Chains A and B, each alone.
Chain A
């Protein structure tokens, strides 16, 4: 359950990070590939080495989708409609990977925002990313 203040905080943080979407996204992916090697199996068709163009563009795509969702969290199911279909019928990513990615995104945010990644911001972000992942997986079955 996200309070009004938490929704504002989330929108504010992602608004600030949109200019560095590529950096944030690539780093979160890299952290996930390092800590959960099984997650790499979904990227065998791409070059996901550090600083690769594929990694950066893919990271950017993911962060921009997360940032877009943050603008109106109550409309997540609408905003994510096409992505829901993509993930359910084409990508078919095992949903545990959403949890791994969310954790690595939180670590990335902590490393970038340092003391600004307060426990309150962390709690709000964890809830948002969980909700985002749940909506993304809604069409899986």
Chain B
């Protein structure tokens, strides 16, 4: 079981309570689709993703980014059992969506960079350690039910 110090819980909850999901969600997913274009394979129904400009305007990508970011709320509310919290979503991504779990790490890295760009100097090395630990646990839980 993953252990969280009081400091870690505080840092993570502060980041998320100050987050504008409608801004950061689209930014993170769009960044992932642009920086790692092969991730577009899962979004053939989203319309035009052929250029970075098209991706930046794509409304479906924006909406999906918001949805995915809210998906992290589950982990926030169940920090002491993130693995069980995402069991169902893990099965969904494996058996229905057929997403390579390596993609979760790519999106996590893009979210980290999006948050760093938003927080600037406040995204200290210490904050980065904690935020990456959180995303690492989530990513691991999402990959857990792949067989």
Interface residues of A (CB under 8 A from B): 27, 30-31, 33-35, 103-104, 106-107, 110-115, 117, 119-120, 122-123, 126
B109 touches A120 (CB 8 A): no
Establish whether residues B116 and A122, one from each chain, have CB atoms under 8 Å apart when the complex forms.
no
What 0/1 readout, one digit per residue, does chain B (11-34) give for beta carbons within 8 Å of chain A?
A: 000000000000000000011001
* Contacting residues, chain A, for B34 (C-beta < 8 A): 119-120, 122-123
Question: Which residues of chain B are within 8 angstroms of A35 by Cβ–Cβ distance?
Answer: 125, 128-129, 132
Nearest to B30 among chain A residues (CB) is A119
**Residues of B21-59 contacting chain A, CB below 8 A:** 30-31, 34-35, 52, 55-56
In the assembled complex, B123 has its CB within 8 A of some CB on chain A: yes
Which residues of B are at the interface with A, using a C-beta cutoff of 8 A? 30-31, 34-35, 52, 55-56, 109, 112-114, 116-121, 123, 125-126, 128-129, 132
Q: Measured between alpha carbons, how far is A83 from B31 in the docked complex, in Å?
A: 32
Q: Would you call A119 and B123 a contact (CB within 8 A)?
A: no
Checking B31, B35, B55, B123 against A107 with a beta-carbon cut-off of 8 angstroms, the contacting residue is: B123
Chain B, residue nearest A123 (CB): B35
CB <8 Å contact, A122 and B52: no
For A117, the chain B residues whose CB sits under 8 A away are 113, 117
Q: How far is the CA of A48 from the CA of B120 in the complex (A)?
A: 23
B129 touching A122, Cβ below 8 Å:
no
